[in-house]
């Protein structure tokens, strides 16, 4: 089935999704929310929403891997948390993938504008979440917490991540900040590792779904890697708030187009 989509893609279509993936990689490296650019681009070139979502998940995995390695130093001495939370994220990611592939094209298509609006709202609230976590850490100090309380909300967030994914990082960061007494930098590192866990699990499951448009995924993976590298270089020059506001605006516009088309 995906071969038909590949054969229907023109050179202009490949250029479009490559540029969208480059933009997504750059945005993810600086502010987050790149899926709000790359997913609509796949749908715009004629790939059905479920296949577009699956392909997007597979294509953007290298970017999550790179971001996780970039924060590896902040994951030191957090082994117990990782042993508890990473498998939770992986199982939730697979569960979300199963839910996606069994929800049907029509249901997912109907949900797409609302998922994009939800993701846009989550992205818009990112600074508020970070500020709250920082204030809470300063007020309570760091200390031991029963981190098992994070398992259920992280699992539910991971299910959402496997199903759609945009805005997942904000949900994870909020859950971690609510339960774990830790500084924002180290929480951010756990968040990055968890997001990678969710996405690699979902992507691995999708490999056998028959829904991956491989030519598009390959082109996008290259674009996302280049965009992530470029984003890392520009991180100190581009204000995340400005970029995030731009992505949120685009997300809302895309959602409204889906709603009223």
Summarize pLDDT for 79-116 with one digit per residue, the tens: 778 888 899 999 999 999 999 999 888 899 889 899 98
Distance CA 29, CA 67 (A): 7
Distance CA 261, CA 257 (A): 6
3-state SS, residue 32: coil
**Average of per-residue pLDDT across 183-189:** 78
Portion of the chain with pLDDT greater than 90, in percent:
32
Task: Find tokens 């790179």 and name the residue.
Answer: 66
Domain borders along the chain are: 2-260
160: pLDDT strictly greater than 80: yes
Q: How many CB atoms lie within 10 A of CB 91?
A: 17
pLDDT in tens, 215-245: 999 999 999 888 877 876 776 677 778 878 8
**Average of per-residue pLDDT across 179-196:** 80
Mean pLDDT for all residues in the chain: 83
Residues 6+ apart with CB under 8 A from 255: 113, 114, 116, 117, 120
**Average of per-residue pLDDT across 4-28:** 84
Higher pLDDT, 30 or 195: 195
Higher pLDDT, 6 or 135: 135
State the pTM of this model: 0.84
Distance CA 56, CA 165 (A): 10
3-state SS, residue 232: helix
Q: What is the number of H-type helices and E-type strands within the chain?
A: 12, 0
Q: What is the pLDDT of residue 48?
A: 92
Question: Residue 32 — left, alpha, or beta (φ > 0 → left; ψ -120 to 50 → alpha)?
Answer: left
Q: What is the pLDDT of residue 16?
A: 95
Q: What is the pLDDT of residue 236?
A: 64
142: pLDDT strictly greater than 70: no
Crossing angle of helices 35-44 and 240-260, rounded to 10°: 30
What the block records as the tokens of 105 is 């094209």
Residues 6+ apart with CB under 8 A from 164: 35, 53, 96, 100, 115, 119
What the block records as the tokens of 111 is 């949900």
Task: Using alpha carbons only, give the angle 14, 15, 21 rounded to the nearest 5 degrees.
Answer: 90
140: pLDDT strictly greater than 80: no
Give me the phi and psi of 75, to 5 degrees please: -95, -5
Q: What is the pLDDT of residue 148?
A: 74
**Average of per-residue pLDDT across 116-135:** 82
């Amino acid at each position: 089935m995906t071969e038909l989509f590949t054969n229907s893609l023109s050179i202009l279509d490949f250029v479009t999704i490559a540029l969208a993936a480059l933009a997504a990689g750059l945005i993810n490296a600086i502010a987050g929310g790149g899926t709000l650019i790359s997913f609509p681009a796949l749908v715009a070139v004629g790939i059905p929403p479920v296949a577009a979502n699956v392909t997007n998940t597979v294509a953007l995995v290298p970017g999550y891997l790179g971001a996780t390695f970039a924060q590896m130093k902040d994951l030191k001495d957090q082994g117990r948390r990782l042993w508890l939370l990473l498998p939770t994220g992986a199982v939730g990611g697979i569960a979300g993938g199963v839910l996606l592939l069994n929800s049907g094209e029509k249901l997912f298509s109907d949900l797409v504008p609302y998922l994009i609006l939800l993701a846009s709202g989550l992205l818009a609230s990112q600074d508020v979440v970070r500020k709250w976590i920082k204030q809470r850490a300063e007020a309570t100090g760091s200390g031991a917490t029963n981190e098992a309380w994070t398992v259920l909300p992280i699992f539910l967030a991971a299910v959402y991540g496997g199903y759609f994914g945009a805005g997942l990082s904000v949900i994870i960061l909020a859950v971690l900040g609510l339960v774990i007494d830790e500084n924002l930098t180290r929480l951010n590192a756990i968040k990055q590792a968890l997001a990678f866990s969710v996405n690699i699990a979902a992507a691995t499951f999708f490999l056998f779904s028959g829904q991956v448009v491989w030519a598009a995924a390959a082109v996008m993976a290259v674009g996302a890697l280049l965009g992530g590298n470029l984003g890392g270089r520009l991180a100190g020059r581009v204000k995340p708030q400005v970029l995030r506001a731009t992505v949120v605006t685009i997300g809302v516009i895309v959602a409204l187009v889906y709603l009223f088309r």
